[in-house]
Structure 1
């Protein structure tokens, strides 16, 4: 029986390959062109030639030397370099250790009919030219050998030799790694059908060290994908492909430009899922991609993994549709294979949703429901999405659980999809109830939310009969905020609430609040009210519960300790036109609430409050606003321009000490 390989994912290659990269000594940038002194020596066959080549009669020429792909040449082809020197004619390149005191930084290029001497200004430049020429000469040789060879064993041997040379050369340049990869890509395209499985693996092992710091080419990605498909349980998948996949997921910026990289990762994940206990292996892989810390240090991992999952899930349903069109039916084997693939990628989404730092972005990616209709009608898909959506619903952050709603007004979201009676609801409304609880308790625009779900009132009444507290709270909220106009429907809601002990208790509390609200809003009481400094939310609530404030038009809470929590009391003041919150802790949450209810407000002072663009954008709903003080807030210039456009009646707006100033 095959053993499981899911316990760890190596982030480095095996020791043998890793040590090849441990270069010591100086590193040199690859020279393509440069100024150098050149001297040509012919073989000394006669006395005259010996005399002419003696050190006293040698002539040096200045040339701008070029190391081209196939030859060494000069930008001014005259004198010694009138004709370029082909790399194929070079027999040896070496440093001349014994030389004149004034000409000691030289190297010799031995060719068939003599030698070419190059003299640099210092030892470093001499060595830089030496290793650059050697590199160019070697890649020329390997290119010629590999392109002309058709014997698989020769190909594998020469690829290994080329990679070893690339890893050992002191030249530090991207081409040192990229050229071998590109050459191997070209060779694979020409010879892939002649290579056996063992030779496939040998080539993968050979080029793996080059991929520690470089992305594979698209052709190599195809080659790797084929290996994942044909040998998914090969140890190469875990030991050698894992670091490559890690690098792609951490650094890739656009799979649209590199679709075969995404295809390779898809095949790699499929290979992982074919291991013993494959789903656990895949989940462990996602966890290693996140890392052990609370925040993933690589911001590209999440969007890249999401892109892979979306494409793979979409591909599952496209494959199923294609099989149906071609065969009018799908065999049980194909159905099982598609089911396993689908489960694998949904498990990745579930694992990603478990990480708190990934959840906001993952929620935003999923909010538009970027899946085909076939997926939304498939029980396998909808059931496996439940854990992901439950994580969103249980997250206290608005940006996360608000993503359960449609991406824009009028567009249905996951919340609507899992409503009892809809095709995705398979749990008798349990998930819907969890989402409902998160959204009804959310600080963002409660009344607006209640209005938006009037069409779901029947499922809410059903859940209320089953003593779901969130559903009961929704029904009570609809009665309290008077979002239901139909009297018969109101009576039906009341009857539903009184059918259970919990509902009866919540309805009674709603009635008590309504009575208190009517007493508060009775005509009478002061028109102006100023709370003493240091007053708290509790003090304001106590003050407003002491009598009628139906005439209150002006309320100053400046320099008090009130916060957004007092917004629930402020919205009970129907006549309020002036509200001063200067230097309080009133924030975005409270601003969102009063913007929805206090439509008569004309003057609002938010100077030195912790409000941000998130809350300030909601002020666009206060169409009667005439004066606004945003001095010393976190207002941005963009939000300020938006407010001016949406509030044409705004006459004064203090934006000193803000970005918009």
Structure 2
């Protein structure tokens, strides 16, 4: 492919076969041009299709008072020379004409010719992309202070729409197009600007190095929102950016779009007085909060939104706006409902109770909220986030211990009879997370204050009595459930007798699932557990790994457990024998487990990736 300076080199060093007598084109004894031949003096350029065999693949350049021939090695090289010369001559002509002509209608006509020429040339060179955009930038840069500049920029942009759709715009051109969107949002040629905006979103790697590109996307979205049907136009823009597939094919689109939305919200609300008072022009920035909410409608983008929002990246002014907070609440509910840990864990970082930067659990805390939401909505939102975290694969006991400083929020939400808060308070009592008699009495009072809370507390008391009875009375040391036994059968069995001394339990070939783990953790003396060919999955394994530290033998052969649950087995320091035959075990996970379990003596990993 020819480079931008290829023709200059050709003109200077190519062998000359025929030259008419001319003092303007001196030739060295070797047949080479002594100085470059300017494009302005070339009157005509064409390929010679017929010639004797000794002089094939020739290109004729007609100059004043004569002509010259250039011979290439093959037809492809000759054609590339030809197209390169034609390209350079035309670009020089368009640049001189478009930047010096005064009549706008003539400029627009020649601009259209240039765009058509640039879109149809067979050359694939960086100058083919750069030169037309440089001319377009020069046209838009002229007379920017004139009152009719916006109208002129609209016409130029509309004419150059095919070029903008196929070429990546530069930072200077982004700034000019962003200015057009800001000054006349309703009249901006949005269809012509849509392709370069999507190109910026899908291909830009770092907005920190391209502030003009980010401002261009932001002003374009604001121009969309300024129309009468702005909400539907913005939603359509988000849908087109994602694409019609289940997963967006552009990995940079989502983080870039979130970055644009957050920057717009932060720029508008930063430095505003508190408490917040809604302004008339606030509608122009609410579309960016709508974008965050709409992005959560796509499953693959939910995780991206959650990762960018962890921890709270917005200023107090944005959180203090009721209309922004309502949209953020919808985003947080979507994150809390998502079963993937990468999504719902984003509302509570590893140090959930740290004051700065805050987590969303602290920002939405009913006792001292940063989000401007009604008290009832705050309680429901906070309860939804707690529910998502309690039902995920994280260690619930450790999570509740980390949230112990936010006990007043648990109490407030529990008074609204939210099941997640009631369950969390019961677990705090059962696992002795709440320290001190006074704190326990406060939790009990909150549980007994409502009808549903009283029911939860009653069930807790029954579990505690059964657990104490099992531990004191004792019972059999070994037990095996019959084939086809279910979770309900196991729960009834453990609830009907004293099994506090049970050390060996076989559930092989039964129909139990991970749900039975809540009953298994009530067996403190359990040493041997056989779950061969059951539906016991990752969540169950994680629960028993957290609550049965004395377990020494575990059989998970032919169960649906994967690396997610198997890696939790490192919480069983006493484990000596482990059967992972025919599971979804990877070699990396097995190496981690084997390294972290020093007492592991026997293991079976046949028919796995680690075999």
TM over 0.5: yes
Aligned to 2:169: 216
CA deviation string 1:551-595 (max 9, x = no partner):
222333344443322211211110122333344332211121112
Deviation at 1:645, TM superposition (A): 5.6
Q: Tell me the distance in 2 between the aligned counterparts of 1:609 and 1:260.
A: 54
Aligned to 1:59: none
- The one of 202, 205, 220 aligned to 2:158: 205
Q: Is the 8 A contact 1:367 1:407 kept in 2?
A: no
Deviation at 1:368, TM superposition (A): 1.7
SS in 2 for 1:572: coil
Aligned to 2:58: 106
Aligned to 2:359: 413
- The one of 562, 565, 570 aligned to 1:615: 565
Q: Tell me the distance in 2 between the aligned counterparts of 1:181 and 1:388.
A: 40
Aligned to 1:497: 447
- The one of 420, 426, 435 aligned to 2:385: 435
Q: Tell me the distance in 2 between the aligned counterparts of 1:468 and 1:77.
A: 96
- The one of 357, 365, 381 aligned to 2:308: 365
Q: Tell me the distance in 2 between the aligned counterparts of 1:77 and 1:340.
A: 76
Aligned to 2:18: 40
Q: Is the 8 A contact 1:42 1:114 kept in 2?
A: yes
Q: Tell me the distance in 1 between the aligned counterparts of 2:483 and 2:143.
A: 84
Q: Tell me the distance in 2 between the aligned counterparts of 1:573 and 1:330.
A: 54
Aligned to 1:127: 79
- The one of 334, 351, 355 aligned to 2:294: 351
- Residues 1:183 and 1:588: Cα distance change in structure 2 (over 3 Å): same
Deviation at 1:635, TM superposition (A): 3.8
Q: Tell me the distance in 2 between the aligned counterparts of 1:352 and 1:315.
A: 21
Aligned to 1:458: 408
Stretches of structure 1 that go unaligned for 5 or more consecutive residues are 1-27, 46-71
- The one of 65, 83, 94 aligned to 2:46: 94
Q: Tell me the distance in 1 between the aligned counterparts of 2:509 and 2:478.
A: 17
Q: CA RMSD, aligned part only? A: 3.7
- Residues 1:122 and 1:438: Cα distance change in structure 2 (over 3 Å): closer
- Residues 1:654 and 1:413: Cα distance change in structure 2 (over 3 Å): farther
2:536 equivalent to 1:586: yes
Q: Tell me the distance in 1 between the aligned counterparts of 2:261 and 2:574.
A: 48
- The one of 331, 350, 356 aligned to 1:388: 331
- Residues 1:468 and 1:584: Cα distance change in structure 2 (over 3 Å): closer
- The one of 239, 253, 266 aligned to 1:314: 266
Stretches of structure 2 that go unaligned for 5 or more consecutive residues are none
- The one of 210, 226, 229 aligned to 2:179: 226
Q: Tell me the distance in 2 between the aligned counterparts of 1:462 and 1:124.
A: 79
CA deviation string 1:402-425 (max 9, x = no partner):
322225455452123212121335
Deviates more, 1:183-192 or 1:544-553: 183-192
CA deviation string 1:337-360 (max 9, x = no partner):
3x3344221111111123333222
CA deviation string 1:625-649 (max 9, x = no partner):
3444445544445544544565455
Q: Tell me the distance in 2 between the aligned counterparts of 1:351 and 1:495.
A: 41
Q: Tell me the distance in 1 between the aligned counterparts of 2:127 and 2:275.
A: 49
Q: Is the 8 A contact 1:464 1:472 kept in 2?
A: yes
- Residues 1:290 and 1:331: Cα distance change in structure 2 (over 3 Å): closer
Q: Tell me the distance in 1 between the aligned counterparts of 2:324 and 2:468.
A: 49
Q: Tell me the distance in 1 between the aligned counterparts of 2:67 and 2:444.
A: 104
Aligned to 1:473: 423
2:185 equivalent to 1:239: no
- Residues 1:415 and 1:129: Cα distance change in structure 2 (over 3 Å): same
Q: Is the 8 A contact 2:154 2:188 kept in 1?
A: no
Q: Tell me the distance in 2 between the aligned counterparts of 1:419 and 1:77.
A: 89
- Residues 1:405 and 1:271: Cα distance change in structure 2 (over 3 Å): same
- The one of 274, 279, 283 aligned to 1:340: 283
Q: Tell me the distance in 2 between the aligned counterparts of 1:364 and 1:481.
A: 31
**Number of residues of Structure 1 aligned to a counterpart in Structure 2:** 596
SS in 1 for 2:311: coil
Q: Tell me the distance in 1 between the aligned counterparts of 2:128 and 2:313.
A: 41
Q: Is the 8 A contact 1:249 1:300 kept in 2?
A: yes
Q: Tell me the distance in 2 between the aligned counterparts of 1:407 and 1:524.
A: 39
